[in-house]
Amino acid sequence: MKTLVLATNNKHKLKEFKEILTGYEVLSLNDIKFVGDIDETGTTFEENAILKAKTISEFLRKKDLHYMVIADDSGLSVDSLQGAPGVYSARYAGNHNDKANRDKLLSELKDKPRTAFFTCAIAVCYIDGTCKTFIGKTFGEIATEERGSTDFGYDCIFYSNDLKKTFGEATEEEKNSVSHRGRAINEMLKSI
């Protein structure tokens, strides 16, 4: 079984990747003893994903560890808000509080069109040092209220065009089959 490092300590994201990458051993930043933060200074999802993957790839090389590294950056874009929250999705309300982010978004969308999409950019740094990116998107709209039991990120207010329900109402399998992350991972799997 191939081993790869996922540049995250986010338990929910790690769980999603492990559920899709069943043929791989997926290590987290905790597993490789990486301590600290990686500043996401990019202006696009792709730039942030590359930044994270390259940082961890260099960290591993210094420790003489030879693993492929994958990193993702993802977020929600609302058409009537000119793409916001975008790369600031996780800290849209000024912090990393999912409920506060959803509340702010719902407040800003009163009397505005609600079409939206999620984007996921995955960067892969191969053992030889080369990097490649993969993009996945999923489309829908923002519901007027929270629906479902999953309160991760914006899931309970994102109504999926594919599923005809919010991600918060979907099973993990349903969500992974149409999500931005699932689609980006499937593109990635064609080349690793």
Q: Reply yes or no on whether 73 is catalytic.
A: yes
Distance CA 138, CA 7 (A): 22
Question: Which letter does DSSP use for residue 44 in this model?
Answer: S
Give, to the nearest 10 degrees, the angle between helix 11-20 and helix 180-189.
Answer: 50
Q: Among the options 72, 73, 98, 155, which is catalytic?
A: 73
Q: Could you tell me which of 71, 41, 45 has the C-alpha nearest to residue 58? A: 71
Chain Cα centroid distance, residue 186: 14
Residues ≥6 apart with Cβ < 8 Å to 189:
21
Residues ≥6 apart with Cβ < 8 Å to 37:
none
Which residues participate in catalysis according to the annotation?
73
